[in-house]
Amino acid sequence: MKQSKKNLSSKFKKPWLAALLNLIIPGLGYLYVGRRITFAVLLVSGEILALIGDWKEIFSEEPILFTLNETLLTLSLLLTWIAFAYDGYKTAESYNIGK
């Protein structure tokens, strides 16, 4: 009886850890839960967006000041990052329930 209980508890994922991992690297919490494709898509798309965002800075000769558009973009990326952490938490909860 003790052995089967241990095996059952080891399969559960910690939602707070999935959220924290998604804060460290967006998508890492999904990898923790076992959603490898979601992790790969988020990692690749995040890198592409980072390169696009840096494109202006890399090839610009003038000092770059934050414009309203850049500020709004930064805020939206921050909110998306927080949403990924929340979704990682909920994904781990769903995994534990068995959905």
The pLDDT confidence band at residue 65, using thresholds 50, 70 and 90, is low
Supply the mean pLDDT for the chain.
80
Q: What percent of the chain has pLDDT over 90?
A: 32
Domain count, the chain: 1
Q: 25 in a domain, yes or no? A: yes
What tokens appear for 50 in the block? 């980072």
Q: What is the pLDDT of residue 27?
A: 86
Structural domain including 79 reads: 14-97
pTM of this structure: 0.68
DSSP, collapsed to helix, strand or coil, labels residue 63 as coil
Q: 36 in a domain, yes or no? A: yes
Q: 50 in a domain, yes or no? A: yes
What tokens appear for 85 in the block? 């952490």
What integer is the mean pLDDT of 21-43? 89
